Copies of this chain bind each other. A is one copy, B any other.
Amino acid sequence: MPGRPLTRPTAADPRNTLTLRDVSEASGVSEMTVSRVLRNRGDVSAPTRERVLEAARTLGYVPNKIAGALASQRVNLVGVVIPSLSNMVFPEVMTGISEMLEGTGLQAVVGVTNYLPDREESVIYEMLSWRPSGMIIAGLEHTAAASVMLARAGIPIVEIMDIDGTPINHAVGISHRRAGRQMAEAIIAAGYRRIAFMGTQMANDYRAKKRLEGFEEALAKAGLSLVDREYYSGGSALLKGREMTAAVLNRTPDVDFLYYSNDMIGAGGLLYCLDKGLDVPGRIGLAGFNGVELLDGLPRKLATMDACRLEIGRKAAQIIAGTVSPGEKVELFPTLQRGDTIR
């Protein structure tokens, strides 16, 4: 675009790039006064304010936050980095976050990593390059580079979901290791002994891994170990739950309890057992994890533990917004919901 004129682009310019100047010219006051009116900051006389608002409205002016952020060194954005949007748990965390951010002037921006550490690193880099006011990140495990970036960013960092580890700044979550242990103890106490596990293949789902570790730890303490295990990846979780359950029941017919790493596959397993006419929870018990509301509609309620998702989102947002001054770790305690699938 050579020889672009130095005058402001006006009508001919296809990109309708209105600036404060346009509003200021239209309303006959300085840019500064327009800025004050639009941000509701400082004293402006009522008639002036009216004229400015009127001009902005009729022009259809939308402020340029890029310029505003650069000038004021303030960005009203909070980066939220989560592994996935499609498993019902993170949308609920988001709800909690948005809810508490409401009215603080802060705005959540989501990034999704698909459980890939490198992807997480680049999402974090990308977000930090927009200089947000804070970051909320699922999990305590990050690449070395990501951890360094976060630590040096000079903004509050809240790692959520998990507290079994060392946070960069703050952590809000539950102990998945303890959750696994608790579930195992309840299962053992109910008299089940031949216990199988089904879960995701994903190497980077550290929280599922910690739950399983806690679970096996508690089994070991009772002199037990898993009699079978099965992993899946991809596809419809409900269907995979059915398939894995079929495989396990087939391979290990005398299994008497099925522990699932999440409710969705657990629900699939439950539907399968009911289809087969198995006596649940007499002959065989089942349990999942998360406490997703989906379970409420099932013929029988699956035993589960809620992951305090809403509350985690709320607390994390409060820390970023500065409405609470927390310790390093905020631990929440999931409650075991026995449902109808543990005798």
Which residues of A come within 8 Å of B, CB atoms? 14-17, 60, 62-67, 69-70, 75, 85-86, 88, 91-92, 94-95, 98, 107, 109-110, 112, 125-126, 128-131, 148-149, 152-154, 235-242, 267-268, 271, 275, 293-294, 296-299
Given A126-B107, A152-B16, A154-B17, A236:B296 Cβ within 8 A = yes
Residues B66 and A154 in contact, CB atoms below 8 Å apart: no
CA distance A237 to B236 in the complex (A): 18
Given A67-B70, A86-B95, A62:B149 Cβ within 8 A = yes
Given A242-B297, A296-B236, A297-B239, A129:B64 Cβ within 8 A = yes
Residues A16 and B154 in contact, CB atoms below 8 Å apart: yes
Residues B296 and A275 in contact, CB atoms below 8 Å apart: no
Name the residue of chain B whose CB is nearest to the CB of A98: B112
Contacts of A238 in B (CB 8 A): 293-294, 296-298
Cross-chain contact of A69 among B62, B66, B268 (Cβ < 8 A): B66
Oligomeric state, in number of copies?
2
Interface majority SS on A: helix, strand, loop or mixed? helix
Cross-chain contact of A154 among B14, B112, B236 (Cβ < 8 A): B14
Residues B129 and A65 in contact, CB atoms below 8 Å apart: yes
CA distance A92 to B91 in the complex (A): 13
Residues B153 and A16 in contact, CB atoms below 8 Å apart: yes
CA distance A35 to B16 in the complex (A): 29
- Would you mind naming 18 contact pairs between A and B with Cβ atoms under 8 Å apart? A16-B152, A16-B153, A16-B154, A60-B149, A60-B152, A62-B125, A62-B129, A66-B69, A66-B75, A67-B70, A86-B91, A86-B92, A235-B293, A238-B293, A238-B297, A238-B298, A240-B297, A268-B297
Contacts of A297 in B (CB 8 A): 236-242, 267-268, 271
CA distance A66 to B271 in the complex (A): 52
Output the least CB separation between A268 and chain B (Å): 5
Contacts of A91 in B (CB 8 A): 85-86, 91
Name the residue of chain B whose CB is nearest to the CB of A155: B15
Name the residue of chain B whose CB is nearest to the CB of A265: B297
**Most B Cβ at <10 Å: residue of A66, A152, A154, A275:** A66
CA distance A15 to B154 in the complex (A): 5
Residues A86 and B88 in contact, CB atoms below 8 Å apart: yes
Output the least CB separation between A260 and chain B (Å): 13
Cross-chain contact of A70 among B66, B94, B149 (Cβ < 8 A): B66
CA distance A75 to B60 in the complex (A): 21
CA distance A125 to B62 in the complex (A): 7
